[in-house]
A and B are shown apart, each in its own frame.
Chain A
């Protein structure tokens, strides 16, 4: 939970952050995120509607997974370091899933006087299937 960004010179391509593991997602997690974000698409909390269109159950908001992923970057570089966060939701996330969020440095560059770190982001489920991939750009000290 550091608020001090790691030093630019001390970071290298391939460096990784401590992964964040969310042990077991529940419907409560989805409902809490719906309330926090204002995203009340019923696919995420109403099993009757979700199953009526062929889903086995409700599934998680993509932006919930993105928010969990962003925590890893925030814990690494501090709450104000994030400049850009780009994600692709490749698979749905279901109640009971365990998510592992990982981040690794893929590039270092200077732009407009800021020392930027590009980080590859990945979230996998308990089967090792990637549910989110992305890139974050953060400012390093």
Chain B
């Protein structure tokens, strides 16, 4: 749901996007992994598993020693209540300051994706390296007008051993501009994209999209991939299926650029591609991040997620970097 960008908005977005790919600095956890913080955490979660808090029980378990809950990863290098320095902060601090100054002062987390290489034990001292992955264009969300900011954080011990990583997405938004508030301009009144007709066969695809995972239906019997989703394998006839996550890379197999008729929920000209995925299936999706007149058959593309509104996320494809 892009707005018709004013020049000012476009210029602001250019400034924000200059941060994309920027190393946002290294931080070291205030303390090594320790029993006290683990105890606070598991009490907050109501988790009574002794492997987190009882050295004797943990020693007798398969783990041999106390472990920290995997999902606690973020807490070991959390900046806490110290706040941002007024000057001389990291590029991330600078970016957040620019958004604050432009009125996007509220923040909520929208997505978290963590991977764990190993369990953490008492005494592991972690540090992070953070990269600003992306800054979205201005979006109208239920909470308000804002920009999604995605960071990638690598967690490693102070000796340099990788232990996990996290992709974290927040929405920086202008308070009071949400759906309950009066629309501030025409763009806020733009109708929502049409809803997909959800069935028990295709719901996984849209659920996956909400998590920014491109899922392809796969026959559980013969392994054939198919899209769009359907109840039955066209090759072997099996009704059993599961899903495979696609790499998100593909090429434009064919496309159209739609000028007319114009549906209010979309912006025109609208490039609609038939994308051939690396995995072999094809799907129809918008082609973005390129002038529609430059789209060509054979163009190498990769998935870009369109968080249209709180209830709808769709895959689109942009030229591969």
Question: What is A's interface to B at a CB cutoff of 8 Å?
Answer: 1, 3, 13, 22, 29, 32-33, 35-41, 43, 53-54, 61-64, 66-68, 70-71, 74, 79-80, 82-92, 106-109, 120, 133-135
* Cβ-defined contact, A89 with B41, below 8 A: no
User: Residue B195 at the A interface, CB < 8 A?
Assistant: no
Is B175 at the interface (CB under 8 A from chain A)?
Answer: yes
Within 8 A of A (CB), among B36-81: 37, 40-41, 43-49, 51-52, 61-63, 67, 69-72, 74-75, 78-81
Knowing A74-B69, A79-B69, A106-B242, the reply to whether A86 touches B112 (Cβ < 8 A) is yes
Question: Which residues of A sit under 8 angstroms from B176, Cβ to Cβ?
Answer: 53-54
CA distance A137 to B111 in the complex (A): 16
Partner of B71, one of A61, A66, A89, A108: A66
B242 touches A88 (CB 8 A): no
Per the bound structure, the CA–CA distance linking A36 and B311 in Å amounts to 31
User: Once the chains bind, are B79 and A133 in contact (CB under 8 Å)?
Assistant: no
Task: Please name all residues of chain B whose beta carbon is closer than 8 Å to the beta carbon of A106 when the two chains form the complex.
Answer: 204, 242-243
Main DSSP-derived SS at the B contact region: mixed
Q: In this complex, which of B70, B213, B244, B311 has the most chain A Cβ atoms within 10 angstroms of its Cβ?
A: B70
Q: Distance in Å from the Cβ of A2 to the closest Cβ of chain B?
A: 10
B79: contacting residue among A29, A35, A38, A67, CB under 8 A: A38
20 contacts between A and B (CB under 8 A): A3-B61, A13-B242, A36-B37, A40-B81, A41-B107, A62-B109, A63-B74, A63-B112, A64-B44, A67-B41, A79-B69, A79-B119, A82-B70, A85-B113, A86-B112, A86-B113, A87-B113, A88-B110, A106-B204, A108-B242
Asked whether, in the complex, the Cβ of A80 is within 8 Å of the Cβ of B67, the reply is yes
Q: How many A-B contacts if CB must be within 8 Å?
A: 147
Q: What is the CA–CA distance of A118 and B119 in the complex, to the nearest angstrom?
A: 19
Given A66-B71, A79-B51, A86-B213, A39-B108 contact (CB < 8 Å): no
Q: What is the predominant secondary structure among interface residues of chain A facing chain B?
A: mixed
Please encode chain B, from 199 to 231, with 1 for each CB lying within 8 Å of some chain A CB and 0 for all others: 000001001101101000000100000000000
A38 to B44 alpha-carbon distance, docked (Å): 12
How many chain B residues have a CB neighbour from A under 8 Å?
Answer: 55
Cβ-closest chain B residue relative to A82: B70
Complex interface: chain B residues within 8 A of A91 (CB): 310
Q: Tell me the bound Cα distance from A134 to B114 in angstroms.
A: 11
Q: Which residues of A contact B108 (CB under 8 A)?
A: 43, 62, 89, 92
Cα separation A39 to B244 with both chains bound (whole Å) = 35
Q: Are B44 and A32 in contact (CB under 8 A)?
A: yes
The interface residues of chain B lying within 8 Å CB-to-CB of A89 are 108-112
Residues of B close to A22: CB separation below 8 A: 46
Which B residues, 14 to 55, have Cβ-Cβ distances below 8 Å to chain A?
A: 37, 40-41, 43-49, 51-52
Q: Is the CB of A3 within 8 A of B62?
A: yes
Cross-interface CB contact of A68 among B45, B75, B80, B310, cutoff 8 Å: B45
A residues near B49, Cβ cutoff 8 Å: 1, 3, 74, 79
Q: How far is the CB of B77 from chain A (nearest CB, A)?
A: 9
By a CB distance below 8 angstroms, the chain A residues around B63 are 3, 79-80
CB distance from A65 to the nearest CB of B (A): 10
Residue contact A32 to B43, C-beta cutoff 8 Å: yes
Contact A36 B242 (CB under 8 A): no
A17 and B220 alpha carbons, distance in the complex (Å): 22
A87 touches B112 (CB 8 A): yes
Cα distance, A88 to B311, chains bound together (Å): 11
